[in-house]
Each structure stands twice: as structure tokens, then as C-alpha cells.
Amino acid sequence: MNLTTLFEEAIDRNASDIHLATGETPCIRIAGDLVRLSHPALDRASINSLLETALPTDARIRVESGLPVERTVLFGDSAFTGIVFRFGDDGLAATFRRLAGAIPSLEQVGGAALPLFRQIAKTPRGLVLIVGPTGSGKWTTACSIVDQVNQTKAARIFVVESHPNYRFESKQSMVTQLHIGQDCDSYGRALDIAHQADLDLVALDDIPTAEVLRQALILAETGHLVIANLHAEGAVDAIQRLVEAAGPDAEALRRSLTLNLVAVTGQRLLPGTGGRGRVPAYEWIRNTPGFWEALLTGDPEKLRGLQSTDPECRTLNAALDELVETGQVEPDTAAPYRIHASA
């Protein structure tokens, strides 16, 4: 048994993940269930041998020092992203997730936000934020917009991510994926590389620091389109979080956002009526004159008011109302997601 045979078995059985750990037989995850393979339990030497082709010397040294290592491994027409780490006194574990080869189209993910997403894909410059909690599908949405550009424009695209989920193939555009921790050591360095490499569009799966936000805004100001994910409860919360993180530079950040922000979208995934899978609920704020005024005041309640009254914007509650009225989601399902006005 080697890593190649494990990858082949995962692909043949349509598994999403491979799990290896000292003292355990290898496992794969099929349709959500963990399945043990008919291979002997692995000792430390066996795992080291399995991972030898996936980990260069510097990565193995890092693992031995107790630090986790993430790697993307290409295998034929497929790709796997893995994390390798130590546990206990001398245990070693690794998980490899198979990257999805087919990125969902905008028509598949867009829902009521489809016209907005199509417009974003045609936008030449600016900053777009796609926000939501973990598991809300925001990176899938970002990747779908990026692939729409990939299919329709001759553009230079960089996709920067710490945990890859999809494998892009260049179509009309040229796409390069940068895996943080493997291809470069930080988001800041990835943006430096992209900027020097004549990019048109860059997508980030996170904005981890104020410095990365500053770099993203500079790229937006200088004629590039930046699409970034941010962990936040909603569109207004995301803007407020960025402003608060800016500290004494908050006023300058607000001015920069009025000039460069294209839109902020927030999303949730809700169980559909009758077990029809998950249904997206989208909210958004677009950069309108009303947005400039509300943002420059520094009052988040004015932004919330704008989101409720400006026809260019949409609240999460309005999105939930539409899903309930059209029978896509049950009222009791939507209720816990509703945003209640502050007292």
C-alpha cells in the first residue's frame, strides 16, 4: 500500500476524505460515513513511508517539531489537500480531502442574488465581501463568481486559500491557486506575488489581519477586482468589524470603503422544505450614495436602516420572507435565522 493506491481507492469509491493515524487502519469517508479499509493498522514507520512522496524535507522537519503541515497533492486529474500533524507521545495523523473538480455555476448557487453575482463578475475593479458564519457556503459562492469570470473573460486570476475546496482549470482566463502554508507563508505574501504578477482578479478565502485588508484595498484602488470572504454574522456586522479593527485609522478606512467597496453579501444555508437539500438566503448592501452617507457617519444602525429601505439593498429578513412565501423553506425553519431590531 502507498499513497497512490489510497488515492485510487478514494476516487473509485467516490470518497471525500482519507484518514490515517498511528495504530489505526486507514479510513475513508463515503457519503458522510467513515469506512475502514481492508489494510493493516499503521505504525509510525508505515505512515512516514506513505507520506514520503507528499512531504518535502522541510515539511517533514516541521511535522517532527510538532507543527501541523498542510499540502495540496496533484494526482492525475484529481487533487487532494491534506493536513499532517503529531498527537500524543509519538503519534502521527493525516487527513486528505479530495478537491471538487466541478465548481458550481452561478445559476446553481445564486438564488435571488443571481443578478448581483452576474454583475459582480462583470465588474472590472473594487472590493467585494462575501460574509457568513462557518458552513454557510460563502467560499463556494466566491469560487462560482470567479469561475464565471474564468469562463467569460481573458483575465489573470489568483485564488488564495488556506483550505482549498475546489480545483480550478483555466478556461478563457489564466488561473493560479496559491495554498497558504505551501505555496506562500501568508496572505500578505500571496497578495504581493499576485500584484507583481499582473493580476486582474484575486479571490481570498479570508481577510485575517488589518494589513491584508489594507493590501486588498490598495489592489482595488489600483484597478483590480478583489473578492474576499469574511467570517461575520451579516453584511452590516462585517463592515462594523472591519472599521473597529482599523482602530485609529477607522475614518480613513470608511472613506476608502466608500470609494472602493462594490458590495457586501451575507448568506445562510437553510434546510429546504420536504428534505430538498439546503437553500441559500442572501442579504446584501451595495455601494450607493446612501451607503456613503451612512458609512461615513460611523453609525451601524444607519447602515441597517439603509439596508431595509434602499431598493439596491436587501436584508436577511426579506430574503427569509421570500423563501417562506415561495414554499422553499418552512416558517419554523426560517424563524431562528431572523434578525430582530435593536431595542
**Residue 145 or residue 278, greater confidence:** 145
Averaged pLDDT, 108-122: 96
pLDDT reading at 101 higher than 80: no
Residues 249 and 274 in one domain: yes
Three cell numbers, residue 5: 493506491
Is there a domain that residue 343 lies in?
A: no
Averaged pLDDT, 249-258: 92
Domain end position, chosen among 98, 123, 152: 98
Of 77-81, 178-182, 197-201, the range with the highest mean pLDDT is 197-201
Residues 55 and 86 in one domain: yes
Residues 22 and 145 in one domain: no
Closest CA to 230 of 116, 113, 110, 130: 130
* H or E segment and range at residue 30: strand 27-30
Residues 54 and 185 in one domain: no
CATH number of the domain to which 160 belongs: 3.40.50.300
Domain end position, chosen among 75, 98, 121: 98
Is there a domain that residue 41 lies in?
A: yes
**Res 343: pLDDT:** 38
**Res 115: pLDDT:** 96
**Res 229: pLDDT:** 97
Average per-residue pLDDT for the chain? 92
Instruction: List the domain range (segments joined by +) for residue 142.
Output: 106-337
Is there a domain that residue 241 lies in?
A: yes
**What would the pLDDT profile of 161-184 be if each residue is shown by its tens digit?**
998 889 899 999 999 999 998 889
Residues 281 and 240 in one domain: yes
Residues 203 and 332 in one domain: yes
Q: Give the total number of structural domains in the chain.
A: 2
pLDDT reading at 341 higher than 80: no
Averaged pLDDT, 243-262: 92
Residues 226 and 142 in one domain: yes
Domain end position, chosen among 47, 69, 98: 98
Residues 198 and 179 in one domain: yes
Residues 33 and 160 in one domain: no
Residues 149 and 262 in one domain: yes
Distance CA 10, CA 31 (A): 12
Angstrom CA distances, 76 to 8, 11, 163, 212, 285, stand at 10, 11, 20, 34, 42
Angle at which helices 300-309 and 235-245 cross, to 10°: 150
CATH number of the domain to which 20 belongs: 3.30.450.90
**What would the pLDDT profile of 295-326 be if each residue is shown by its tens digit?**
998 888 899 999 999 999 999 999 999 999 99
The overall longest dimension of the chain from CA atoms, in Å, is 66
